[in-house]
Every structure is written in C-alpha cells, then in structure tokens.
Amino acid sequence: MTELTSGPSDPRRRDAFGAGGSGDTSGFGGLVVPAAELGSTPRPYGVAALDDIHDTLERAFDGLGDAVERSIVDRDELTLHIRREQLLAVAQILRDDPGLRFELLSSLSGADYLDDPTGRRLHSVYHLLSMTHRRRVRLEVSVTAEDPVVPSVTGVWPTADWHERETYDFFGIIYEGHHSLTRIMMPDDWEGFPQRKDYPLGGVPVDYKGGQVPPPDARRSYA
C-alpha cells in the first residue's frame, strides 16, 4: 500500500491523529479538500434581508471597502469579514441602525485556520441576532498569531464578556479593552492555547496515582 503524505500545500487530509499508511480508518483519509474561495459572493444575494444588511452598511461607510474585506453567502446565511480597525464602528451600526437592530450577540468563538494563505490564521467569529427583524448575521475578524489583537465588543454587546475570555483562553486572541481578560476554563498558570491547531496533543498529567495520558498517536496502533 502506498502511504499518503500531506503537507501545507497538499489538500489530502490525513488519518486521525496524524497516522499514515493505515488506510481510511477515520473516514476521511486521503479525502481531497477543495481550496477555499476567498472572493465575495456576487450581488444581489437573492435573499432580500441579506441585501438590506449589505446596503445599509454600504450607505453608512460610503462603500464597504474600508470596513468589509469580503461578504460570503452560503445556505442563505451572510458572513461579513470585517477589517479589525473597523470592527467597533460596524458593530455600533449593526446594533443601532433602525433597519438592522442586531441587539443580541448570541455567541462569539474562535477558529484557527493554520494554513490560511493570508497568514491571518486566527479568526474571531460573532453570531448576531436581530430580535426586532428576526434576522441573523455572522461577522469574522482575522489576525495573525504574532499580532492576535482584536477590539473588545463588550461595550456594544455585554454578552461578549465571557465569550471573549473563553476565546482568549483557548485561542490566544487578545480582546483589547476587555475589563478582565483572564482565563475562564484553564488554570491561571496554564501555558499555551489548547485549541490552536499547532498545540501539542498529548502528555497531559492527571491526578490519579501519578498516571499520565500518553500522546494520541501513542494510544493506539493502526498497523
């Protein structure tokens, strides 16, 4: 059997925990993943509510180029990729404009796209809900691991408080202006950010008779 190898430019996914040469034991070994499309979805979107959101922001910013890098519509959901410097301005308009009224930030999470071609691998993702108009929209802000700073939106949506702490805890995104950006899940002295893709997976000590959990690739042999 020919062993599949994969690297940063190879779209084939490896077996679970990085195992190789064992066949498709995980259900995705050797699967070819198409390259991500980085362009915006052409207008009109075909969903009036999504076009309304885009048009309102376009009027507010006299064109979206300075605020929105790209806008993606998939499965009738709109994702706006916001420039970091304009996040708070966009957030204020989305909350306060009478035609938008996204009053609630329902969740905020992180993502790590390790091989992002732009180099901005860390994404802060915001899910917003307009209870007035019964609409949803998603925002994304991307930053590098070397400069992982994003403005805190707690002044616009207080519900972002613990969400920003959790995303900082797991991904190391620093929310500038947060009143108490401390770890919320991991111990205060924990080193590193466990949900980054390059975070080590094994060797975690446990409090049970001096035992230690071995690295994932040492727990089971696929040979």
* Domain 47-188 bears CATH identifier 3.30.460.80: yes
d(CA 160, CA 181): 11
- Reported as a pLDDT band with limits 50, 70 and 90, residue 60 is confident
Cβ(160)–Cβ(166) under 8 Å? no
Cβ(172)–Cβ(122) under 8 Å? yes
- Please tell me whether the peptide bond between 98 and the residue prior to it is cis, using omega within 30 degrees of 0: no
Range with the poorest average pLDDT among 4-13, 54-63, 90-99: 4-13
Structure confidence by residue, pLDDT tens digits, 109-134 = 999 998 888 899 999 999 999 999 99
> CB within 8 A of 97, min separation 6: which ones?
56, 60
* Token pair of 57 as six digits: 């922001």
Nearest Cα residue to 83 out of 172, 151, 180, 6: 151
Instruction: Taking each helix axis as running N to C, give the angle between helix 87-96 and helix 48-60, from 0 to 180 degrees, rounded to the nearest 10.
Output: 120
Structure confidence by residue, pLDDT tens digits, 170-213 = 999 999 999 999 999 999 998 899 999 988 776 665 555 667 66
Nearest Cα residue to 57 out of 99, 107, 103: 99
* Per-domain residue ranges of the chain: 1-35, 47-188
Average of per-residue pLDDT across 24-41: 64
